Amino acid sequence: MSMSKEGQLVVPDAVDIPFIEGDGTGSDIWAASRIVFDAAVKKAYNGKRSVNWVEVLAGEKAQEAKGTMLPDETLEQIKSHFVAIKGPLTTPIGTGFRSINVTLRQVLDLYACVRPVKWYNGVPAPVTHPQDLNVVIFRENTEDVYAGLEWQSGSEKAKKLVHFLNTELDCKLSSEAGIGIKPMTKANSQRLIRAAIKYSLANRSKSLTLVHKGNIMKYTEGAFKQWGYELAASEFSNQTITETQATENPALASGKLIVNDRIADNMFQQILLRPSEYSVIACPNLNGDYLSDAAAAQVGGLGIAPGGNINYETGYAVFEATHGTAPKYAGQDKVNPGSVILSGVMMFEYIGWSEVGKLIETSMAKTIESKKVTYDFHRQIPGATLVKCSEFANEIVTHIEKS
Ligand code: NAP
């Protein structure tokens, strides 16, 4: 792949796409996902288009082969191919090694974490009407408390900071306080919100909701809201309208994207009590982390939730399983490959091969409806047939071939 001068991704008919298999259950999940991807590409294009999967190493496999969890050549390969897909990776605890997932996002500046959340017929869900929730969450991926600026309680640096804050900035902090810093910038907030607005307009979404905790954190979360409204007014004034303006003058709202905001705690009850009122959501990093998992759980889809980390300007994108490596099931051909499969759907849509995405999504939905499911769904669906990870994929392939 390459980027055109106009900033469009150029995708050849025979495209190389790097993949990271992932640790733990990653090899089972990747093998299952790959046969689904290949079957869908073949069905959609009958040989006119194809994917050459290029393995790049990260995690335990890279540690064994290269002596490092994230070799430079892996980053170079992803950059030169623009788009990659990955299974889950282990984050070693207590070794001082930063999460590979976080490192990938930061090094490639993948500022938007995009998580579509919707219900698939037959998926056991904890709410009465899971079908009412159908949202796409855009989570800022590079700053906020994830910037990693933290000092341990009682450490020299924490004491130094507390002293500075108390003496220079009139704070009244305990000398024993642990300190964390939450940086958020206008430029990084607005590029995320811009991507969410563009997505909303391209998909004719009803509304774009800015989720924040600005009532408490005025100059970070509150600023995120403010910067969002300013951006909508300055760059998308003909296509957007605020909720307040639309309420005052409904005629003006016709055909326009409604931009509104919700305080984060309210948003958690809104998606439960009034889910159908929301479509695209933009939020800072920490809110987005909580909200995307809560929303996925609401539709019963935590185990199959897809995700993409994207920089819309450079074109770099890494699509990934949102669950972890589930190490206790490694090598058992047991777990649900749905998260990587649906991340593949996002990836094919991103590169403009939407026929492939649609085929996969419809066929996976049919497989779940037929109640042939892996252990995680099987234990919750009365009368379901238990299938292995690979068998679940084969069922999807059968539906692809029949369609
Ligand atoms: P986890 O691997 O997500 O597993 C937690 C539980 O979730 C599993 O025991 C299993 O539940 C269920 N689960 C996970 N994946 C599943 C699948 N594909 N199909 C069905 N059920 C699935 O979380 P963890 O045990 O906290 O983390 C393990 C490792 O993964 C850690 O090193 C962590 O850092 C890493 N991690 C990586 C990513 C990523 O690469 N994106 C994300 C999160 C965590 P039951 O026990 O109920 O069967």
User: How far does the centroid of ligand 1 lie from the alpha carbon of residue 320, in Å?
Assistant: 13
Which is the closest atom of ligand 1 to the Cα of 375? 20
Which is the closest atom of ligand 1 to the Cα of 321? 41
Which of 185, 284, 193, 277 minimizes the C-alpha distance to 240?
Answer: 193
Which of 324, 372, 368 minimizes the C-alpha distance to 100?
Answer: 324
* 343 in Cβ contact with 296 (< 8 Å): no
Per-residue pLDDT of the chain (403 residues; tens, 9 = 90+): 999 988 899 999 999 999 999 999 999 999 999 999 999 999 999 999 999 999 999 999 999 999 999 999 999 999 999 999 999 998 876 555 668 888 899 899 999 999 999 999 999 999 999 999 999 999 999 999 988 889 999 999 999 999 999 999 999 999 999 999 999 999 999 999 999 999 999 999 999 999 999 999 999 999 999 999 999 999 999 999 999 999 999 999 999 999 999 999 999 999 999 999 999 999 999 999 999 999 999 999 888 999 999 999 999 999 999 999 999 999 999 999 999 999 999 999 999 999 999 999 999 999 999 999 999 999 999 999 999 999 999 999 999 999 9
Q: What is the DSSP letter of 221?
A: I
- Any residues with CB less than 8 A from the CB of 155 and at least 6 apart, and which? none
CA-closest residue to ligand 1 atom 31: 90
Of 19, 104, 115, 323, best ligand 1 pocket probe by most atoms within 8 Å of the beta carbon: 323
Cα separations in angstroms, 299 against 29, 58, 120, 294: 22, 31, 8, 9
Sign of the Cα pseudo-torsion (127, 132, 138, 140, in order):
negative
213 is catalytic: yes
At 259 the pLDDT is: 98
Which is the closest atom of ligand 1 to the Cα of 336? 19
CB of 376 sitting under 6 A from ligand 1:
yes
**Residue 4 backbone phi and psi in degrees, to 5:** -75, 170
Rounded to 10 degrees, what is the CA torsion of 116, 317, 25, 137? -20
Write down the catalytic residue from 61, 213, 334, 372.
213
* 293 in Cβ contact with 117 (< 8 Å): no
Of 113, 302, 325, 392, best ligand 1 pocket probe by most atoms within 8 Å of the beta carbon: 325
At 96 the pLDDT is: 57
265 is catalytic: yes
Which of 243, 149, 234 minimizes the C-alpha distance to 190?
Answer: 234
- Could you give the count of Cα atoms lying within 13 Å of 125 in the half-sphere of its Cβ? 24
User: How far does the centroid of ligand 1 lie from the alpha carbon of residue 36, in Å?
Assistant: 22
Question: In 3-state terms, what secondary structure has residue 5?
Answer: coil
- Any residues with CB less than 8 A from the CB of 249 and at least 6 apart, and which? none
CB of 324 sitting under 6 A from ligand 1:
yes
CB of 335 sitting under 6 A from ligand 1:
yes
CB of 103 sitting under 6 A from ligand 1:
no
146 is catalytic: yes
- pTM equals 0.95
289 is catalytic: yes
- Any residues with CB less than 8 A from the CB of 332 and at least 6 apart, and which? 25, 28
